[in-house]
Amino acid sequence: MVDSWHPKPGDKFVRRPRAKAHPLRRVLGVFGLFSAGYGNVGSSIYYALGLVALVAVGATPVVLLIAGIFFMFTALSYAEGTAMIPEAGGSASFARRGFGDLLGSIAGSALAFSYIVTIAISAYTVPSYLGYFWHPLKDSAAMGTIAAMGIVFFLMWLNVIGVKESSILNITFAILDVATQILIIVLAALFFFAPHPQVFFQNVVGNWPATSGLIFGIAMASLAYTGVETVSQLSEETKRPSVNAPRALILMIVVVLVLFSGISVAAFSTMTPSELALGWARDPVAGIAQGLATTIVPGETIAGLFLAAVLKALPILVAILAATILIIATNAGLMGVSRLTFALGKFRLIPSALSGVHSRFKTPYKSIILFSSVAILLLVPGFFGAGTFAQLGRLYVFGSLLAFALAHASILRLRIKHPELPRPFKLRGNIKFRGHELPITAILGLVATSVIWLMVVITQPYARWIGLSWMAFGAIGYFVFRHRNQLPLIRTAREVRTSID
């Protein structure tokens, strides 16, 4: 077919062999990748715990554990895919290689949607934690929504002018966050769970939800594991990505599952599910810290005086740390979606204008402004009711689970279509199918994410119509773009080599 694609102003082309035409510096090691991924996944506990409690009530620790198992399956699929295809794009890259450009476009749209909602929900949660210092940020819907919009707008501006993400800063906050959560878990275990374990079990068993709430709680609990795409998106900036990316993902699996399990036990040891859902839904970790600080009575010994100082500082530390990490997660969402659109433009899945870079700042400013604006629009309902928080969670589940399902399906497809591809990290536990080895974790992950996604589509009208409208908009744009440029609608088009300085 005739190729009518033409470069746009600001696009830069590297006319060198693929091995040398790498636009991004490979500087990240295992801990740099882990900290970036944990900054996204770990940040979600600051709001997901309360959001899940709204639905799952007493079963919150259980559904978080079940969702954690599905997260493990997903992370393992991403580990194989990223090691095999070390390029930005995540599930969109996997789907493109496995099924062709059409499925790659669908995965890209779903992934972009999950990034947008991550931006919105992370920013929406920040004011609740800062409400410790100024109560209207937590108590006033209007003030909280205005603050959240301001955060997104400010970060949009920073990303347009080209602010770089600091790996050292990510590592520092990841270490501080892990240490703080371990401190909370240990204090709750020593002073609440150990002396009165019956309180935890009563909060769980005595507030068990209906079957529908339990099932939908599992769907909502997937929100607690946002950001698994981050490691894949950063693979082009990683040293030895075929080795370091799987290691970072496995490390993230272990840390996240341990901490999330501990925090959920700490929550139900210090407060009832109704207290968590009604009073601390948007800032659940602040509720745990406040409960520890107001309930524990230290002795008059030196150790007791030290503990008193720690308890006094704990709510302040949580407020500052949570707000900072959530702002970093919001910014990471913006950077992730800009990396994604750059990759989609390179694969010719979206118009090159969206992935084109600014002539001065060398950033994909159009996509940054577009997706930031959509995130701000999603925050508008925050002026009119408290249900915005739950609705944003449902929207995230729609986009992320669809992207995860396509990632699992792509790993299975690539095992069949391209068994010859090098797999530095290969999933174990395979079953034989027509001479091909198919990983059981990918099969289970595909079934679980597909079923839960369909349940969300069927039972949640807001997520259904907003999510499907977004996907329809993306599909129409894809077909129009490919038709106008005389490109195949399903088969893979020629890749365009572009770079951002």
Q: What is the pLDDT of residues 225-247, one digit of tens each?
A: 767 777 777 777 778 777 888 88
For the full predicted model, state whether its pTM sits above 0.95. no
| CATH ID of 30-484, from 1.10.760.10, 3.40.50.2300, 1.20.1740.10, 3.40.605.10 | 1.20.1740.10
What span, in angstroms and rounded, lies between the C-alpha atoms of 155 and 466? 24
Q: Highest mean pLDDT range out of 117-121, 254-258, 327-331, 422-426? A: 117-121
For the segment 268-273, the average pLDDT, to the nearest whole number, is: 94
Give me the phi and psi of 369, to 5 degrees please.
Answer: -65, -40
For the segment 181-195, the average pLDDT, to the nearest whole number, is: 95
Structure tokens at 496: 């365009």
CB 50 within 8 A of CB 274: no
Give me the phi and psi of 211, to 5 degrees please.
Answer: -60, -40
For the segment 123-143, the average pLDDT, to the nearest whole number, is: 94
Given pLDDT bands bounded at 50, 70 and 90, which one contains residue 219?
Answer: confident
**Rounded CA Rg of the chain:** 22
pLDDT value of position 37: 75
- pLDDT for 72-129, tens place per residue? 999 899 989 988 988 778 889 999 999 999 999 999 999 999 999 999 999 999 999 9
The residue ranking higher by pLDDT, 30 or 483, is 483
For the segment 319-341, the average pLDDT, to the nearest whole number, is: 87
- pLDDT for 448-463, tens place per residue? 999 989 988 998 999 9
Structure tokens at 263: 């925090």
Given pLDDT bands bounded at 50, 70 and 90, which one contains residue 190?
Answer: very high
Long-range contacts, 2-10 (Cβ 8 Å, 24+):
2/486, 3/485, 3/486, 3/487, 3/494, 4/484, 4/485, 4/486, 5/348, 5/352, 5/485, 5/496, 7/352, 8/352, 8/353, 8/356, 9/356, 9/359, 10/356, 10/357, 10/358, 10/359, 10/362
Is it the case that residue 12 has pLDDT exceeding 80? no
Lowest mean pLDDT among 69-73, 124-128, 248-252, 282-286: 248-252
What is the average pLDDT value for the chain, to the nearest integer? Answer: 86
CB 10 within 8 A of CB 194: no
The residue ranking higher by pLDDT, 441 or 496, is 441
For the segment 368-378, the average pLDDT, to the nearest whole number, is: 94
Q: Highest mean pLDDT range out of 12-16, 23-27, 309-313, 355-359? A: 309-313
Domain residue spans of the chain: 30-484
